[in-house]
Structure 1
């Protein structure tokens, strides 16, 4: 066993051994070490470390540089006399072993837990001492000297814990009659945090009980003026009621030891709000395993565990969240909260955080008469009620981070699962957070879904039905439910109905909430006009995949603009993307059912001449690019035309010139699809010339 190391983050980041300070050189090493210290005993992925070090601008060598930083830290610790490994490599990243070392943040949180437990048991003097020991570990602003968005977020989190701990300790000390001793401490804290109403309330009460009634009223006046000037808000209920009590010399202000340090409502019931999970749930083994990492088994983390499930409409985000939540519900003995935030409901506006908090507070036992009126006060009471408790919160169909943020508990013992279709990058900022982007079910899983609902179907009929539903659990659910509701129908009849693309969405949109079409519409109507136009254009093409230049041809715009609209479609989860492991090229995909919906929109919103013109521009792009690639493959020198320069970035033109056969191989499947589609549309010239290029392609690839 080597020397024991002491790590401190509650102030400047520092490391000490038995022989003295251990120097940590370089900002990157400090950031990596801070990330590992704030997740002791838990694996921190390399991707999370890259994001913490470089925020949104990681270099191509980011993962390699992280490995170099970790190697440097290991070397430093060994040089300080620590013979055992402190940082272990564990897929998909690294893990810091906390057992043989001291981490002040972990000890701070352990002592906070102890203080809160003693307080709940009525051991107030012991609780005050535990709070003092925890707060005594602070040596200044947390993570001083560590820069970056991660450090700012983590420091804010720790600072909030510190202030809350001080408020709880001060409440106990006031209840035990220590008002005179507290005035100086509280005065300094109010100067540092003038908008923190609970601290000001404690100061006013300490001043009043010390016979300084005028000073207490002046503290209220100063706080009210600040709140109005800076936030445009009147003080909250706590300050207003205390102010009125001081004016009336209310006897309730006389110091009397109380059973609890706060008069706020406590949870009197254990909420169990999870809706039932369907028995048809199938697959998702890897996704369930990823979510399992959220459960704070050890309680050693310092970040609130948050899981974000995202994916295209109908892919089964809600069902996965509910299935997992029921599976781990027993790990959250203080309850489970659930709400549908209606972020994508065309018939209802998204729920406001204020009204959601009202429902959560009622579920936690707060009477209507005690519900605060303002969002900030409701959020503060909500976090207070959940402090020290293990509650699972499921926020379904979130429209934005602003809608979600006030609903996040303030303690690591709780866990939150959010579902939504947009990216919400703010939810992936912590080491304890996971993001799961759901894909459609595999063919095997889709068939299993169908046969679980309809065990009498033959494997062949189940496979046909599953294929037409495109692996989307919502489509599979609607299809199987229709057959169950109409026992006189055969599977072949429904398959025939779904085979007709003009009827497919009609047949899969018959449930009580509008089915698949309603799900697609709710995402489509949130797109910008140009992104929606591009989506409709992509729906008119029959290609299995496409590059950004296809979008440029459809919109007749530079490729840089098309890439922006494609990224919007990707962020909205209406298209998918693949990145080649060979050359890093990006290919987009539009699944079959979303393509059917996009084509419907194009038929309704665009004239036939506009649709045909967009297709012709795309066909012309394929023709010109395929012709250039074929000539380059045959050794004929060509120069990129103005149109090619408009559609392709310079690096793509260079890649095409350097390896035309690679380009032809990638476009092989799409090119044949375009030949077939242009033939069907009667565009004979395009069909003939494209077929000629395809024939050359086949010969070139064969040789």
Structure 2
């Protein structure tokens, strides 16, 4: 074996090979792999796999399709350098060999079992914290079927039991301040779990919130009586009586050192861009967040979204700097993309925020949930702006949300962050390219206004070649500023060569190509293939019908892929209307990038797993039987329309 595989099931199903993600295919392959990984080193019969795939109603080709899934998984593991037989055939089914590989379910159960052998509260609490840290979200998210659902219920019960045990140990160690936020959320989500309610009552009492603890008991009593017509259990009733008489035994033996009373006011905003023009309408909209945070009972949340290079970060930082006086308790900032090196860990961001707020390092808990709870507690009653740049998902943001209305959260993202939209109804600002006047003004601010005034026509041509994007304009203007002997016309002539334009604007890792590459890497294989084909055939304007023709799929399947390109901000909606066909645009620098990807990947090695993204639209029936041959045949389809790239094939016909 040359690589170590890691099977992660406590959240969305993931496989890592030496720490790098591995694409494991479509829904069937994921379901088969999940069932095998849930029972490592144990035989899983073919009948059980068919039950998991088709919920008791397998097709006549069910056994063949299971065998195809197994063969595909073995091929995937070999392709990442794993030479040993990870999945072995053993009658009456298959075995996933766990020796030498990691499995988070096995690791979780081992840590929980080890707690029973530990005598010390500190050691046991540390083991449980490590076990809880393995969870990344709802277990087996994205894997469907009755068997997967049954496993999810079982593992979720184990998680809740382990968390209640962990909370009890933390309270025993006197860490009630750190636990109260998570316990409150747990009781709201699971109001019938009496042990969790008892832990919350004790934490509230120890924080001097005696009335809240009694109210927590009364709410539990009402729910129990209404739902089942019976009293709460003896543990809660006894704790209620002890709180009423202020039993000294309720106070902890161990205490957590108090957080410093005079917390600092952080000022973490990065340096503002040197040249900034326009965006007055956008500033006015963002100013509405100040009214929300002052008058509303909920947190003020704003999202600036738009394509790469459009100036989202610059606008957010400029607005945050302009409104700094409105947040006297400080401004927190984090680039969630890690400056292009990959998404940063949310726990690390929270640790940095807590330190910036004055919490001593020794008092910052190691668990993500505990850090999030402490973060909300520290911000309580304080007016702080939290600016999160380059967010990729709502899940990445959730633990970083302040808990009070005095604070304000501003997020920049290329995507829509739909879950955040549905929960908080934030202010949305969809940022577009600069208008011509502002774009020329920005060019002059960096390159020199006298040079722009001397060549106004060339200046307008240059900003159009840069798609009027602030990132591209800054890079072009910086080249002019560093070469005073160049005319603007000279740079226009260089940019006019489409094969060189991205090179001219991508001199370092912060260039235009890198920004589009970041969006492209997050596409599914089929959406990436559509993007390439659009670039290959220079289709700057197209319809869903055009995409369906390119991909040989149904319009529904093509619409899913086009929506993915729109969400990634690689494609824009050009025109739409009731009863009219929607037209999409892929133009300028993004079209050049799509062409470049098509040239770079003449044969994209898709696997059967992504075929569902395009819909069963290939007409494949069961889908995975066709494998790579069908993928390559699909990719080599010739398109006859190249003469008029702004028309869909249907229009040209």
Which of 486, 506, 513 is the matching residue for 1:517? 513
| Change in 2 beyond 3 A, CA 1:297/1:580 | closer
Aligned counterpart, 2:270 = 275
Alignment of 1:18-29 (within 5 A): none
2:594 to 593, 598, 609: 598
Structure 1 counterpart of 2:336: 341
Spell out the pairing of 1:349-368 with structure 2 (5 A cutoff). Answer: 349-368=342-361
1:294-331 deviations in whole A, cap 9, x for unaligned? 11367221221111111111111111111111111111
1:166 to 1:395, Cα distance in 2 relative to 1, 3 A: farther
* CA–CA distance in structure 2, aligned partners of residues 375 and 191 of structure 1: 31
Contact residue 334 and residue 389 of structure 1 kept, 8 A: yes
Deviation at 1:436, TM superposition (A): 1.4
Contact kept? 2:308, 2:516, Cα under 8 Å: yes
Distance in 1 between residues matched to 2:372 and 2:410, nearest whole Å = 18
1:456 alignment partner, one of 424, 438, 450: 450
Alignment counterpart, residue 406 of structure 1, candidates 394, 399, 418:
399
Inter-partner Cα distance in structure 1 for 2:510 and 2:294: 42
Distance 2:214 2:401 in 1: 33
State whether residues 293 and 405 of structure 2, in contact with CA within 8 Å, keep that contact through their aligned partners in structure 1.
no
Residue 616 of structure 1: aligned partner:
639
Structure 2 residue runs without a partner (length 5+): 1-187, 192-197, 225-235, 605-631
Matches within 5 A, 1:303-314: 303-314=298-309
Query: Matched residues in 2 for 1:529 and 1:183: separation?
Result: 53
Contact 2:379 2:402 in 1 (8 A): yes
**In the alignment, which of 263, 280, 296 is matched to residue 285 of structure 1?**
280
Q: Is the CA contact 2:293–2:408 (under 8 Å) kept in the aligned structure 1?
A: no
**In structure 2, distance between residues paired with 1:429 and 1:574:** 24
| Residues 186 and 546 of structure 1, relative CA distance in 2, 3 Å threshold | closer
Change (3 A) 1:604 1:208: same
CA distance in 2, matches of 1:298, 1:274: 20
What is the CA–CA distance in structure 1 between the aligned matches of 2:269 and 2:258, rounded to whole Å? 30
Aligned 1:665-676 pairs, distance under 5 A: 670-671=646-647
Aligned residues: 420
User: How far has the Cα of 1:543 moved from its partner?
Assistant: 4.0
Q: Does the CA contact (< 8 Å) of 1:274 and 1:338 recur in 2?
A: yes
- Quote the residue 2:566 is aligned against: 570
Q: CA RMSD in A?
A: 4.2
Normalised by the length of structure 2, the TM-score is 0.57
Instruction: Find the aligned partners of 2:295 and 2:641 in 1 and give their Cα distance.
Output: 55
Look up the SS of the partner of 2:461 in the other structure. helix
Distance across 1 between alignment mates of 2:338 and 2:551: 29
Quote the offset at 1:541 in angstroms: 2.9
Task: Quote the offset at 1:531 in angstroms.
Answer: 0.2
Please tell me whether residue 490 in structure 1 is matched to residue 466 in structure 2.
Answer: no
Q: Is 2:293–2:299's contact at 8 Å kept on the other side of the alignment? A: no
Q: Secondary structure at the match of 1:397?
A: strand
> Which structure 1 segments of 5+ residues have no match?
1-151, 157-162, 195-199, 217-241, 246-251, 254-261, 623-667, 675-685, 694-703
Q: Does the CA contact (< 8 Å) of 2:272 and 2:318 recur in 1? A: yes
Q: Are 1:477 and 2:474 matched, yes or no?
A: yes
> Could you tell me which residue of structure 2 aligns to residue 19 of structure 1?
none
Name the CA shift for 1:332/1:615 in 2 (closer, same or farther; >3 Å). Answer: farther
Partner of 2:362: 369
Q: Note closer, same or farther for the CA distance 1:555–1:173 as it changes in structure 2 (3 Å cut).
A: closer
Query: Larger radius of gyration, structure 1 or 2?
Result: 1
Residues 569 and 575, structure 1, Cα contact 8 Å, conserved in 2: yes
Aligned pair partner of 2:376 in 369, 383, 401: 383
Match of 2:557 in 1: 561
Taking a change above 3 Å as real, the CA distance of residues 397 and 324 of structure 1, as seen in their structure-2 partners, is same
CA distance in 1, matches of 2:246, 2:358: 35
What is the correspondence of 1:574-589 to structure 2 with a 5 Å cutoff?
A: 574-581=570-577, 583-589=579-585
Would the aligned equivalents of 2:571 and 2:584 in 1 still touch at CA under 8 Å?
yes
Q: Give the deviation of 1:585 after TM superposition.
A: 2.8
For residues 202 and 407 of structure 2, what CA distance do their matches in structure 1 show?
Answer: 21
Q: Separation in 2 of the partners of 1:317 and 1:421? A: 9
Question: In structure 2, what is the Cα distance between the partners aligned to 1:172 and 1:421?
Answer: 42
**Are the aligned partners of 1:343 and 1:399 in contact in 2 as well (CA < 8 Å)?**
no
> Could you report, residue by residue, the CA deviation over 1:171-226 in whole angstroms, capped at 9, with x for unpaired residues?
6757xxxx7x88755654677999xxxxx9xx79975994463xx4xxxxxxxxxx
Alpha carbons of 1:189 and 1:371: their partners in 2 closer, same or farther (altered >3 Å)? farther
Shift of 1:468: 0.8
Distance apart, 1:413 and its partner CA: 1.0
Q: Hey, what's the Cα distance between the residues in 2 that align with 1:435 and 1:283?
A: 19
1:302 to 280, 286, 297: 297
Higher relative contact order (CA 8 A, sep 6+): 2
Q: TM-score, normalised by structure 1?
A: 0.53
> Is residue 440 of structure 1 aligned with residue 437 of structure 2?
no
Render the CA deviation track for 1:533-584: whole Å, top value 9, x for unaligned. 0000111233442111111111122221111100011111110113434644
1:619-630 matches, cutoff 5 A? none
1:328 aligns with 2:323: yes
Structure 2 CA distance for aligned equivalents of residues 443 and 385 of structure 1: 46
- Three-state SS of the structure 1 residue aligned to 2:378 is helix
- 1:24-103 paired onto structure 2 within 5 Å: none
Indicate whether 1:419 and 2:407 are aligned.
no
Whether the aligned pair in 1 keeps the contact of 2:202 and 2:213 (CA below 8 Å) is no
Counterpart selection for 1:315 from 301, 305, 310: 310
How many Å separate the matches in 2 of 1:425 and 1:431?
Answer: 10
Q: Distance in 2 between matches of 1:506 and 1:188?
A: 67
